[in-house]
Structure 1
Amino acid sequence: MMKKFEEKTIHTEQIFNGKVVNLQVDEVRLPNGKTSKRELIKHPGAVAVIPITKDNKIVFVEQYRKPLEKSLIEIPAGKLEPGEKPEKTALRELEEETGYRSNQLDFVSSFYTSPGFADELMYIFITKEIEKVKDPLSPDEDEFVEIIELTLDEAIEYVQQQRIHDAKTNYAILYLEMLERM
């Protein structure tokens, strides 16, 4: 018996298996008995970190995003490696992208980034215990970033100007605004 709204997979065709994502097309049986096709991106999941300095600035990275053909200012983030715990990925990405290290992470939330076509689950953490590392982990060889530290008010201004323009970073800023009001 099918659950309400469930789409039962009849057939899966693998289209592409890549380093970051896999693409497949599923033929599905709809709740009304008809069939349809679904283009799906399979992703191992990701993490993002809201790093706060001792002087209460948020550490961001600016990096070029090829799908958008422009640079974005974002909180540090990265893809989960197979079998890796989100906390470990978060600490690694924080150090690789920013040169900061932390021994204290607090889980904020998780969410699906684009559930209409992808299964990517993003975990968000916050840390207020960061310190600059003398010899940080190296970033990925194809990753070029610049560090930007902003106050919460400056970050909100960047959101209004669409200089900060991605979901995870907007979510992080809303979360920090909410904490400030409490």
Structure 2
Amino acid sequence: MPQKPKILKQKIAAQSRIFRVEALELEFSNGELRNYERLLGGSRGSVMIVPMLDDETVLLIREYAAGSHDYQLGLPKGRIEEGEDPLQAADREIREEVGYGANRLELLRTVSIAPAYIQHFTHIILARELFPDKQEGDEPEPIEVVPWKLSAWDELLSQPDFTESRSITAISLTRKQFGY
């Protein structure tokens, strides 16, 4: 494995209410100097939950996505709050977004998004043995919950509002877990 570049200088180049851009001056092991920028994520990361109503049915959600300025079908997700571990954050998020708690939570995998540009990790959590428990969240409007059979994978992939790569990855991992 190559030696990581040495960080010679780093500073915040831009900042908004929720985003921070960091400028890096790097020296590679061969002496090459380069400037990079990266979007800094939260230090705790986020969770994406695969809530399984039963061994065949995942609970998807449809909610507004500002990045695409459209409603997107995907999995419940959210950031890990101070003092939470990924499993606690996943349990809180599905109660807020889907209206269920889970007796069994399992980390399937931790993934990154565009690691060349974004410093952020998402923990994909499988939630099983669900029970009704709706809790108040911070969403601006009610979220539509959409039950979907894992066996209807091709149909889900053809939905024009099901585009998020993390949701596609999470359901692919879940299908493998359940032998699809």
Give the TM interval when normalised to the shorter protein.
0.7 to 0.9
Counterpart in 1 of 2:22? 24
Counterpart in 1 of 2:147? 149
Task: Provide the C-alpha distance between the structure 2 equivalents of 1:70 and 1:46, rounded to a whole number of angstroms.
Answer: 22
Task: Provide the C-alpha distance between the structure 2 equivalents of 1:11 and 1:142, rounded to a whole number of angstroms.
Answer: 40
Match of 2:33, as an amino acid? T
Q: 1:151 to 1:179 in 2, by over 3 A?
A: same
Counterpart in 2 of 1:78? 78
Deviations 1:33-62 (A, max 9, x none): 122111111112111111111473211111
Counterpart in 1 of 2:157? 159
- 1:97-176 matches, cutoff 5 A: 97-133=97-133, 136-142=134-140, 144-176=142-174
Task: Provide the C-alpha distance between the structure 2 equivalents of 1:87 and 1:21, rounded to a whole number of angstroms.
Answer: 25
Instruction: Determine helix, strand or coil for the equivalent of 2:97.
Output: helix
More strand per residue: 2
Q: 1:130 to 1:20 in 2, by over 3 A?
A: farther
1:155: Cα distance to partner? 4.3
Instruction: Determine helix, strand or coil for the equivalent of 2:157.
Output: helix
Q: 1:38 to 1:83 in 2, by over 3 A?
A: farther
Matched positions, count: 178
Q: Percent of counterpart pairs with the same letter?
A: 21
Deviations 1:96-139 (A, max 9, x none): 11111112101211111221111211111112211112xx2212
CA RMSD in angstroms, aligned pairs only: 2.1
Task: Provide the C-alpha distance between the structure 2 equivalents of 1:180 and 1:130, rounded to a whole number of angstroms.
Answer: 16
Residue 34 in structure 1 maps to residue 38 in structure 2: no
Runs of 4+ in 1 over 2 A off after TM superposition: 15-22, 141-145, 153-156, 160-163, 179-182
Q: Structure 1: where are the runs of 5+ without partners? A: none
Match of 2:116, as an amino acid? G
Q: Is the 8 A contact 2:126 2:174 kept in 1?
A: no
Q: 1:144 to 1:33 in 2, by over 3 A?
A: farther
1:162: Cα distance to partner? 4.0
Match of 2:154, as an amino acid? I
Q: Please give the TM-score of this superposition, normalised by the length of structure 1.
A: 0.86
Q: Please give the TM-score of this superposition, normalised by the length of structure 2.
A: 0.87
Q: Is the 8 A contact 1:156 1:173 kept in 2?
A: no
